């Protein structure tokens, strides 16, 4: 299973980025290989308009099974994510990626 | 031959909360005691003027933006639309093209450049325009739906509506949004005269200077009204004097005025000083207007 | 590190004055972010030193290179914003009207049009009188306030807060309900709604709260000038109860706020009595509620 996190850093100790559209990094965890891959989202973050839609497209290309984030996507991004039927879990702000994964596994994160 | 074009007076400010709506509603109501007046609230994110009037709804219509609509049957998924859009308002997700009307600036590039004509432009509703009447006062307000970004198109649409429907009324008053960004430019760019209303405090002074710069950029004739006069200091008055900016009127600071305003009531009927201020403003506007016809 | 965002919907309710007061009370626990970038005012109370200043670019504006232009007029034809006009036979783009859509550049047969990055404003990082830092900005006249500058200010504030290990970022949010407000709210742990008991105040409070609800952020409300209209004050309180918004405190109408402002001071520097103690209590409440929002680990 592939899990995507919105993150402010590149490893398990990095904090979840509470935002979606202007998240700094998208970190993908593949549980079959137990590996993390990091996508730098700074270019999108710097877009004047439509950061949410641009980030959604990146998620589409990465094709994770679920997305874990903080406050949740704004209206525009939500539309795209819905189109992809992406499972989104929110409420992970102020946690590290590692903690967020644990909370998800314990069923403590809210599904949108 | 005397120019019969309506006189367009716009009330703006740098800082929010300085009294734009208080002034525009009181001015409009005062004038409407004797002649037909149109007041249009162009603060489409938070229109408030209507809260002070009890008018009858005369007309309601949708405000639209033109946005592209994906015609799947014609699309070859070439992806040119996404490439062309500078606002991330169109993205391709696999075999679907997603359009984001809220991000669309209606430039028509994607629609007109699409080789298959698969993105015809259509209307999307972004808000509502309402036209009310109360005696001789006509009050028009446009409200943007929450989440919509395109204030500028609502503002220009409202101005067009007023210009078309009320070309027989000699004075049009516009309540502008606060600040100095594009919505304000759109609201003030066609004005015959702009009144900048501010308060004599450091915030009011700082933001007035920004508003003055905006007016100078647009080359608009303007004057200043000082609201809540007496509450702060003389910086605003001194600045206007130094820059040769006309101070049209000073509305005194008064807790009683604040209380009246809080109830949604007009101020001038109970305050002769405010009435006097309105007289000064109208006199000045009249002389500007006559200056035009000479 | 938590983010507290102060918004009001309507201008003139005292949002900035109150945010500045909390910044004083919070002292070195707090990094301040002035996200009211269209008419930024916090700097008038916080004595910033503008140590770092950075140009801010947002969007693009078209520019026609006259050397390559053949005056075919196609650019003017496609422009929906009337931004291109002819002067003395030359085609010129008016930067104030140009939306930066890039359409003209695409169709120009001689590639005479380029899209230039638009200098939209300036961002500043300052040391302020609390011995902490403030990130602030000023948007240029007529600029597109998309929320990007707001996002940048917050990012910078976050960076500083993490580096200096500050507990809170305190954000003076944008007025209204548009993209700058959305950007101000994005990532917030707690929202402070500042309102006044008036018809306009209530109207705008409800509109801005609809936006807050979408982001699912816990909120509290301060009723400023609470005693100018007791009926409206009661109406607000009912609204707060109905929506589950914490009623943080009421502040009486008091001209000392303005007197303090004219001296470049927040109310907590100007007087040390009634208003200051109300605000100190409110700040404690805000911190408590902000920190309550935590998943058990």
- Per-residue pLDDT tens over the stretch A3-53: 999 999 999 999 998 888 888 899 999 989 999 999 999 888 777 678 888
Same domain, B111 and B203: no
- Total number of domains constituting chain C: 2
Residue C129's pLDDT is 94
Mutation for B interface: C9, C38, C46, most B CBs within 10 A: C38
Q: In the prediction, which pLDDT does A83 show?
A: 86
Based on the fold, state whether residues C138 and C220 are members of the same structural domain: yes
Of A47, A48, A83, the CB nearest to B98: A83
Q: Is the pLDDT of residue B2 over 60?
A: no
Residues B149-163 pLDDT 10s: 778 889 999 999 999
Q: When comparing pLDDT for C214 and C275, which is higher?
A: C275
Mean pLDDT of A49-74: 88
* Six-digit token string for B94: 């696999």
All residues of chain B having their beta carbon less than 8 Å from the beta carbon of residue C145 are: 179, 181-182
Choose among C23, C9, C3, C16: nearest CA to C236: C9
CA angle C102-C104-C108, nearest 5°? 125
| pLDDT tops 90 at residue C105 | yes
> A21 vs C186: CB contact, 8 Å cut-off?
yes
Confidence of residue C294 (pLDDT cuts 50, 70, 90): low
- B95 pLDDT higher than 60: yes
Distance CA B241, CA B247 (A): 8
Work out the burial of residue B239: count CB atoms within 10 Å of its CB; fewer than 13 is exposed, 13-18 middle, 19 or more buried: middle
Q: Is A55 on the interface with B (CB under 8 A)?
A: no
Task: Based on the fold, state whether residues C100 and C247 are members of the same structural domain.
Answer: no
In a domain, C111, yes or no: yes
Per-residue confidence band for C146, with pLDDT thresholds at 50, 70 and 90:
low
Nearest to B206 among C10, C44, C177 (CB): C44
Contacts of B231 in chain C (CB under 8 A): 255, 258
Q: Is the pLDDT of residue C126 over 80?
A: yes
Looking at residue C33, which CATH number applies to its domain? 3.40.50.300
Q: Which of B180, B201, B259 sits opposite C258 (nearest CB)?
A: B201
Q: Tell me: the pLDDT tens digits for A71-101?
A: 778 777 888 898 889 999 998 888 999 999 9
Q: Report the distance separating Cα A79 and Cα B214, nearest Å.
A: 37
Chains touching chain C at 3 or more Cβ pairs under 8 angstroms? A, B
Last residue of a domain, one of C73, C93, C119: C119
Q: Which of A27-31, B10-14, B286-290, C144-148 has the lowest mean pLDDT?
A: C144-148
Higher model confidence: residue B210 or residue C175?
B210
pLDDT, position B1: 40
C146 versus C129: which is more confidently predicted? C129
By C-alpha distance, the chain B residue nearest A84 is: B93
Across the interface, whether the CB atoms of A108 and C295 are under 8 A apart is answered yes
C148/A47 touch (CB, cutoff 8 Å), yes or no? yes
* Whether residues C104 and C194 fall in one domain: no
Mean pLDDT (chain C, rounded): 91
Taking contacts as CB-CB distances below 8 angstroms, the residues of chain A near B86 are 49
Do B217 and C141 count as a contact with CB atoms less than 8 A apart? yes
The C-alpha of C117 sits at a distance from chain B's nearest C-alpha, in angstroms, of: 12
- Residue C164 placed within a domain: yes
Q: Is B176 exposed, middle or buried (0-12, 13-18, 19+ CB in 10 A)?
A: buried
Q: What is the CATH number of the domain that holds A52?
A: 3.30.420.130
Residue B235, in any domain of the structure: yes
What pLDDT score does B292 carry? 60
Instruction: Find chain B residues with C-beta within 8 A of C200's C-beta.
Output: 21, 48, 51, 261, 264
Task: Look up tokens 């949604």; give the residue.
Answer: B264
Of C133, C195, C137, nearest in space to C166 by CA: C133
Question: What is the pTM for the complete model shown?
Answer: 0.84
Distance from CA of A103 to the nearest CA of C (A): 8
> C3 contacts in A (CB within 8 Å)?
18
Domain CATH for B83? 3.30.70.20
Same domain, C65 and C167: no
pLDDT score for B144: 87
The rounded distance, in Å, linking the Cα atoms of B117 and C108 is 20
Q: Does residue B2 belong to any structural domain of this protein?
A: no
Give the tens place of pLDDT for each residue, C258-268: 889 888 999 99
Answer whether residue C297 is part of any domain.
no
Evaluate whether residue B1 is within a structural domain.
Answer: no
Residue B45 at interface with chain C, using a CB cutoff of 8 Å: yes
Same domain, B112 and B216: no
Give the domain extent around A9.
2-111
**Residues C43, C66 within the same domain:** no
Domain assignment of residue B231, yes or no: yes
Q: Do B86 and C12 touch (CB under 8 A)?
A: no
CATH number for the domain harbouring residue C71: 3.30.70.20
C151-167 mean pLDDT? 90
Instruction: Report the range of poorest mean pLDDT among A71-80, B265-274, C84-93.
Output: A71-80
Confidence (pLDDT) at C161: 92
pLDDT of residue C296: 42
Best interface-test mutation with B: which of C45, C258, C260, C264 has the largest number of B CBs within 10 A? C258
> What is the domain range of residue C182?
2-47+128-292
Residues of C in contact with A108 (CB under 8 A): 295-296
- What residues in B contact C80, CB-CB < 8 Å? 106-108
For residue B293, the model assigns a pLDDT of 46
Q: For residue C122, with 0-12 CB atoms within 10 Å meaning exposed, 13-18 middle and 19 or more buried, which class applies?
A: middle
What is the residue range of B257's domain? 7-64+126-293
């Amino acid at each position: 299973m592939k899990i995507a996190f919105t993150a402010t850093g590149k490893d398990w100790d990095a904090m979840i980025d509470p935002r979606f559209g202007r998240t700094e990094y998208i970190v993908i965890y593949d549980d079959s290989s137990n590996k993390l891959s990091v996508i730098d989202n700074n270019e999108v973050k710097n877009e004047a308009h439509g950061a949410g839609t641009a980030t959604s497209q990146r998620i589409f290309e990465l094709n994770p099974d679920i997305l874990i984030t903080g406050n949740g996507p704004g209206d525009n991004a939500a539309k795209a994510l819905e189109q992809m039927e992406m499972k989104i879990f929110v409420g992970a702000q102020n946690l590290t990626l590692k903690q967020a994964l644990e909370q998800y596994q314990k069923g403590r994160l809210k599904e949108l | 031959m005397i120019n019969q074009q309506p006189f367009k007076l716009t009330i703006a400010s740098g800082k929010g909360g300085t009294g734009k709506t208080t002034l525009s509603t009181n001015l409009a109501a005062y004038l409407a005691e004797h002649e037909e007046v149109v007041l249009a609230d162009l603060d489409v994110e938070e229109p408030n003027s209507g809260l002070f009037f009890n008018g009858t709804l005369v007309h309601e219509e949708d405000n639209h933006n033109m946005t592209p609509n994906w015609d799947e049957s014609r699309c070859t998924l070439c992806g040119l639309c996404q490439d062309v859009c500078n606002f991330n308002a169109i993205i391709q997700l696999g075999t679907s093209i997603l359009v984001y009307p809220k991000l669309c600036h209606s430039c028509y590039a994607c629609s007109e450049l699409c080789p298959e004509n698969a993105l015809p432009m259509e209307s999307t509703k972004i808000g509502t325009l309402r036209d009310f009447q109360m005696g001789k006062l006509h009050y028009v307000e446009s409200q943007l739906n929450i989440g919509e970004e395109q204030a500028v198109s609502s503002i220009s649409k409202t101005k067009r509506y007023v210009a078309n429907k009320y070309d027989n009324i000699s004075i049009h008053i516009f309540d502008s949004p606060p600040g100095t960004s594009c919505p304000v430019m759109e609201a003030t760019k066609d004005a015959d005269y702009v009144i900048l209303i501010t308060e004599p405090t450091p915030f009011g002074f700082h933001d007035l200077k920004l508003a003055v710069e905006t007016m100078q950029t647009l080359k608009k004739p303007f004057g200043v009204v000082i609201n809540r006069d007496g509450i702060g200091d003389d910086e605003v008055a001194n600045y206007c004097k130094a820059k040769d900016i006309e101070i049209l009127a000073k509305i005194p600071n008064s807790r009683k005025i604040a209380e009246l305003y809080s109830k949604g009531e007009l101020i001038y009927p109970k305050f002769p000083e405010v009435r006097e201020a309105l007289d000064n403003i109208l006199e000045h506007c009249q002389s500007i207007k006559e200056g035009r016809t000479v | 590190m938590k983010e507290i965002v102060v918004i009001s919907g309507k201008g003139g309710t005292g949002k900035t004055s109150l945010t500045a007061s909390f910044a004083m009370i919070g002292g070195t626990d707090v990094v301040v972010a002035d996200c009211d970038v269209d008419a930024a005012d916090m700097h008038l109370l916080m004595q910033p030193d503008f140590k770092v200043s950075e140009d801010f670019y947002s969007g693009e504006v078209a520019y026609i290179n006259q050397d390559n232009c053949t005056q075919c007029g196609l650019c003017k034809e496609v422009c929906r914003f009337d931004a291109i006009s002819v002067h003395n036979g030359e085609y010129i783009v008016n930067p104030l009207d140009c939306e930066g859509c890039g359409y003209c550049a695409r169709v120009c047969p001689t590639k005479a049009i380029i899209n230039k990055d638009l200098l939209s404003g300036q961002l500043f990082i300052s040391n302020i009188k609390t011995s902490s830092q403030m990130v602030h900005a000023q948007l240029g006249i007529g600029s597109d306030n998309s929320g990007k500058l707001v996002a940048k200010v917050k990012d910078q504030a976050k960076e500083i807060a993490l580096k200096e290990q500050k507990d809170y970022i305190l954000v003076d949010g944008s007025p209204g309900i548009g993209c700058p407000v959305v950007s101000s709210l994005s990532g917030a742990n707690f929202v402070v709604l500042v309102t006044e008991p008036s018809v306009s105040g209530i109207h705008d409070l409800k509109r801005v709260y609809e936006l807050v609800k979408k982001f699912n952020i816990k909120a509290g409300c301060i009723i400023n000038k609470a005693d100018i209209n007791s009926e409206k004050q009661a109406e607000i309180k009912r609204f707060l109860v109905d929506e589950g918004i914490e009623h943080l405190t009421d502040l009486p109408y008091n001209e000392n706020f303005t007197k303090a402002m004219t001296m470049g001071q927040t109310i907590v520097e100007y007087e040390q009595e009634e208003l200051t103690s109300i605000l100190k209590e409110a700040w404690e409440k805000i911190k408590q509620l902000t920190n309550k929002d935590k998943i058990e680990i």
